[in-house]
Structure 1
Amino acid sequence: MSGIIELRLDDLGERGIQEHVLRPRYGGTEGFGDDSALLAALSTPSELVATTDSCPTPVVVNFLGEPDLYHAGWLLATINLSDLAATGAEPLGLVAAYTLPKATTVREFERLLDGVDDCCVEHGTKIAGGDTRDGETVQLTATAIGRCAPGRRLRRSGACAGDRLLLVGSPGYLWAAALLAAGHATLPEAAREEVRRRACRPMAQLRAGQVMAATGLGQAAMDVSDGLFATVRALCETNGLGAAITGDYELDQPVAEVARQSGLHPFDLAETWGDWGLVIVTRAEDVDLAMKALQTEGIVAQEIGVLTADPRIVMGAGGRPWNGIAQERFSNSSWHGGDLADLITAVLGTPRS
């Protein structure tokens, strides 16, 4: 491999890529080279679930200053596994489709594959197959397939007025890293590097979804892919409900310090997108049990509000309308990259310099 990493993909051609890049990496995978991938032989009754998502240019590329495809590979796996997390599924595997310019080097392609593979390993799954083709621009798509116990699959529906909303995960790392890169805050080197690492390697909340599904404590769930407001709004619309959000959130210490230095309220970072948290709906009487079940697994979660019969979505003691962050495709809020300062302003407003 060391002799070909500086070559371009069009130096190798499709057969060369297969033999010199993919076979050394995936040749031991059952069914490698076949037209279809073997995910798993199911020995117990299961409900199969599948999701397909394409990967945008990772925000971290804008403030790392290097177009490393590793980050895109990691994100491609995470965004698909996060959708499985919202169902409570166990992942069986991913199949990925890569469209890459012919001028892509083998080294760049390897970095992309490293990102996907490393993320899969961290989540206890693997790439089972896929497709590679040439095109004018980078386009990355994957399909994740998982299984749920019959009757235990979490959905967006199933919530009632009075149910509580739990935000699972540690939000704010992505945009804290952006604020640090833009000079709005400073941290000691170790803390800064931890924020950067968490921003570059977001984790899907698979175990949280599985616990809530297996225990029956989760009534509904959805991952936070387009901002917390968009997630809560979608859950409300699906169930014909509204929500009263507290507006209070305790961030992890380094993220909280970045918020403080930037003149932002902790909830300003908690409601952002890019950290792939999970919102789980649980009955009011089950909140303590749900929190204990998650904490036993080492999973961070906080109660953020209650679903209401009133269809409005409000925040705080005064019940003011909540019009939070909502990245929406095919709209003016759809993110397509850009200058870091403009991105921060679009997502967080104007932080204190």
Structure 2
Amino acid sequence: MSGTPETLGDLGEQLIQERVLRPRYGGVDGFGDDSALLGVVTTPSELVATTDSCPVPVVNLLREPDLYHAGWLLATINLSDLAAAGAEPLGLLVSYTLPKTTTVREFERLLDGVDDCCAAHGTKVAGGDIRDGAVQLTATAIGRSAPGSRLRRSGAKAGDRLLLVGSAGYLWAAALLETGRATLPAEARAEIWDRACRPVAQLKAGRLLAGYARAAMDVSDGLFATVRTLCEANRLGAEVTGEFVLDEPVADVAAQSGLRPFDLAETWGDWGLVVVVRAGDVQVVEKTLRAEGVAVQEIGTLTEDTRITKGTAAWDGIAQERFSTNSWHGGELSTVLTEVLGR
């Protein structure tokens, strides 16, 4: 019908490649081949790889759905795992399963999101696959690190300090604003929305920390889940302060919503890192990261006692866990807000 948006089903695989993918990726070495070329490694390196799928972005529940946000998030999720390894990205391999009814414009928005996120992080899409079916977005990020420098979850000792790297709380501050729990001037509101839609993987921080961090992990399932996993990997416990300083607009949203700063800091969706460093290295690490414009603050200490506490009380915080009642990969926003913030 005249004026009806063209869909992927209208084009078919060959025309999708020729009309959509080739104009965008035709200059990538190996385009159209069965495998991707990630470049020539001229210095001794260890290769690092990670793969992850993308859930429905929370921002798509807050406003109209836009596959751009899913594309950006898909790239961020995978690049963040490289950041936690202290690795430099070499490229991203993508796999898209999409319904035949997906319009060409929607598909292009997905590609724009992935490409823009890759460009912002100094990397690119090196290859991938597309097929028809129920929506499933997956990527594999490949990176490299200097021999012996890759960060892992294990390697920490009692007395080491926990640092949270990155600015926390933007995603759920956006949710509170969009659902009327708080209000801000237009400029501040736009800043929070933009940060929520385009989270940043802490690749620079990960590489800078390679000489200092004893262990590291990205905050993908909530701060509590991250600290708990690091404790389990090292057979230690943790004393978390429960104190946290948020960026000014996020702190304003928290105050209006009756939340403490830590309530937003312990959420997921901002893709920070938790890193473990020696007590004597805290100041130099903080100075190094802040000089590069990276937010960082100390949040606790690892202990011989395997309990995890916040202040003097046991801490059992927010944690997404797949294949459990705490798993969330899309749903009603009101339910998610209640699960995450008790609001």
TM-score normalised by the shorter chain: which range applies? over 0.9
Cα distance 1:225–1:4, how it changes in 2: closer, same or farther (>3 A)? Answer: farther
CA distance in 1, matches of 2:18, 2:26: 9
Q: Residues 5, 190 of structure 1: CA spacing in aligned structure 2 closer, same or farther, 3 A cutoff? A: farther
Identify which of 289, 292, 296 aligns with 1:297: 292
Alpha carbons 1:182, 1:340 under 8 Å: kept: no
Is 1:327–2:320 an aligned residue pair? yes
The 5 Å alignment of 1:1-353 reads 6-64=5-63, 66-135=64-133, 137-213=134-210, 216-316=211-311, 319-350=312-343
Offset at 1:5? 9.9
> For 1:172 and 1:4, how far apart are their aligned partners in 2?
42
5 and 280 in structure 1: CA distance in 2 versus 1, 3 angstrom threshold: farther
**CA deviation string 1:25-77 (max 9, x = no partner):** 0000001000000011000010000000000110111101x111000000000
**C-alpha distance in 2, partners of 1:145/1:129?**
12
**TM-score (norm: length of structure 2):** 0.98
Shift of 1:4: 11
Question: 1:167–1:278: 8 Å Cα contact kept in structure 2?
Answer: yes
* Aligned partner letter, 1:293: T
8 A contact 1:243–1:307 mirrored in 2: yes
- Displacement after TM superposition at 1:336 (Å): 2.6
- Distance (Å, rounded) in 2 between the aligned partners of 1:194 and 1:81: 23
Distance (whole Å) between structure 1 residues aligned to residue 255 and residue 62 of structure 2? 21
Secondary structure of the residue aligned to 1:327 is coil
TM-aligned CA deviation for residue 337 of structure 1:
2.0
CA contact 1:247–1:304 (8 Å) conserved in 2: yes
Using the TM superposition, give the Cα deviation of residue 93 of structure 1 relative to its aligned residue in structure 2, in angstroms.
0.3
Residue aligned with 2:126, SS: strand
Uncovered stretches (5+) of structure 2, i.e. residues with no partner = none
Paired AA for residue 29 in structure 1: V
State how far apart, in whole Å, the 1-side matches of 2:257 and 2:186 are. Answer: 18
SS of the residue 1:121 aligns to: helix
How many residue pairs match? The answer is 342
- Which secondary structure state, in structure 2, belongs to the residue aligned with residue 293 of structure 1? helix
SS of the residue corresponding to residue 16 of structure 2 reads helix
For residue 272 of structure 1, report the CA deviation from its aligned partner: 0.1
Tell me the TM-score normalised to structure 1 length: 0.96
Unmatched 5+ stretches in structure 1? none
1:338 Cα offset (Å)? 2.1
**CA distance in structure 1 between the aligned counterparts of 2:110 and 2:89, rounded to whole angstroms:** 21
Q: CA deviation at 1:297?
A: 1.2
**8 Å contact 1:244–1:305 — kept in the other structure?**
yes
Pairwise CA distance, 1:189: 0.4
Task: Tell me how far apart the structure 2 counterparts of residues 338 and 29 of structure 1 sit (CA, whole Å).
Answer: 37
Q: For 1:23, give the aligned amino acid.
A: R
Rounded to whole Å, the distance in 2 between the matches of 1:181 and 1:292 is: 35
Q: Percent identity?
A: 72
SS at match of 1:74: helix
* Residue type of the alignment partner of 2:270: D
Provide the C-alpha distance between the structure 1 equivalents of 2:276 and 2:132, rounded to a whole number of angstroms.
43
One-letter code of the match for 2:200? Answer: M
Q: Alpha-carbon deviation of 1:340?
A: 1.8
Separation in structure 1 between the aligned mates of residue 342 and residue 236 of structure 2, nearest angstrom: 29
Tell me the distance in 2 between the aligned counterparts of 1:5 and 1:94.
33
Can you list the C-alpha shifts for 1:156-204, whole angstroms capped at 9, x where unaligned? Answer: 0010000000000001000000001111000000000110000000000
- Three-state SS of the structure 1 residue aligned to 2:129 is strand
**For residue 131 of structure 1, what is the amino acid of its counterpart?**
D
Judge conservation of contact 1:5–1:105 (CA < 8 Å) in 2.
no
User: Matched residues in 2 for 1:106 and 1:62: separation?
Assistant: 22
Name segments (4+ residues, structure 1) moved above 3 Å. Answer: none
RMSD of the TM alignment (CA)?
1.2
